[in-house]
Amino acid sequence: MTTSHSPDTGVSTLARKTLSVIVPCFNEEQVISTTHGEIVKNLSKVDDLRLEIVYVDDGSGDKTLEILRSLAENETSVDVVIVSLTRNFGHQPAITAGLERCSGDVVVVIDADLQDPPEVVVEMLDLWRHGYDVVNAVRTKRKEGFFLKIAYFAFYRLYNRMASVDVQVDAGDFCLMDRRVVDQLNRLPERNRFVRGLRSWIGFKQTTHSYERRARVAGETKYPFSKLVQLAFDGIFNFSTLPLTFVFVFGVILSLLAFALIVFLVLVKIFGIVVFGNHPDDIPGYYSTISTVLLFSGIQLVSLGIIGEYIGRIYLEVKNRPTYVAYEDKDTKLDSTK
């Protein structure tokens, strides 16, 4: 790897620390050039930090990777690293790839669609300089549709009630982390990763910074509702055993109800009580059979579904497959004196 030479800003290169900006990308050909320009414009002028941008191409099927390589080859003011994954592994694995490949003393994760404005990072850096290890960017407003807003609102509140560790409400993957936090995250062995949950679990000194989230500059969202549901499942089942407790409590309640139903049916039989206009002897065993079958079938299906979610995650972890697979990295670090 060649040594880069940062532009002369009046600060000794040896004394300057590095800011790494991780940008996961998937089919972002319409916006990635604009995103690169905005990041460079807003963050390359921070005098006490050298800028490194780590683009993680998550198996894009368009010209995203081609554009990234062109940007890297023509960039003379900042360091650019491109990590190309062999297929679309997903947003969380792409972030993980960036965290493992970046070299910064302070690290920012930001999406490629410019919904999270890069200029906010300057304000987050001030909080880092004041001693905070993690700065969670909290969305005060968001441009998604009404249904998605309700879904996000419900998820964060439900998650914090169920999980063993709270996540910052209305904070996504856009964040700033000190190097020691990133190092600890990279040491965690689990494969099915919910980064914002791990970020909260890891601890350290954390704070928040509020901002207004924009609409996408171009292109379509890479998080359709189905992926948001999967992300919610990952968050809840990776950080909570409460669903198993619910199964136990639900089973106990339904068992008590089943016992009460059996007692009721015995009393109906003994005293010849008419139920819904029918005498129990008209259709012997009908009510008791249907009630019992439906009750216990429901209990079993719910229980098996929840237990299956945990077993499925254990199955994925014990296989010990990597979170992602990358082609040989395209590491472009150009001498600024060219």
The string of pLDDT tens digits covering residues 216-255 is: 665 565 555 566 666 666 666 666 666 766 776 777 777 6
> What tokens does 261 get?
């139903």
CA atoms lying within 13 Å on the CB side of residue 41: 10
β-sheet bridge partners, residue 183: none
Contacts of 317 (CB under 8 A, 6+ apart): 190, 191, 192
Q: What angle do CA 287, 293, 297 make, to 5 degrees?
A: 150
Quote the pLDDT of residue 11: 43
More confident residue, 325 or 282: 325
How far, in Å, CA of 267 to CA of 158, rounded?
A: 42
Highest mean pLDDT (candidates 141-155, 274-288, 294-308): 294-308
Average pLDDT over residues 39-53: 86
Q: Which of 76-80, 149-153, 276-280, 325-329 has the lowest mean pLDDT?
A: 276-280
**pLDDT greater than 50 at residue 158:** yes
**pLDDT greater than 90 at residue 99:** yes
Residue 277, classed as helix, strand or coil, is: coil
Q: At what angle do helices 32-43 and 120-129 cross, to 10 degrees?
A: 40
More confident residue, 330 or 183: 183
Quote the pLDDT of residue 149: 66
pLDDT confidence bin for 16, thresholds 50/70/90 = confident
Q: Tokens 């491109």 sit at which residue?
A: 82
134-141 vs 171-178, strand pairing mode: antiparallel
**Residues 313/237, Cβ–Cβ less than 8 Å:** yes
**pLDDT greater than 70 at residue 283:** no
CA atoms lying within 13 Å on the CB side of residue 74: 10
Nearest to 30 by CA among 78, 62, 69: 62
Quote the pLDDT of residue 14: 46
CA distances from 237 to 95, 202, 230, 314 (A): 20, 17, 10, 11
How far, in Å, CA of 105 to CA of 16, rounded?
A: 10
How far, in Å, CA of 133 to CA of 75, rounded?
A: 30
The string of pLDDT tens digits covering residues 183-204 is: 998 988 877 777 877 888 888 8
Domains annotated for the chain, with CATH where assigned, are 17-240+322-332 (3.90.550.10), 242-318 (no CATH)
How far, in Å, CA of 87 to CA of 92, rounded?
A: 14
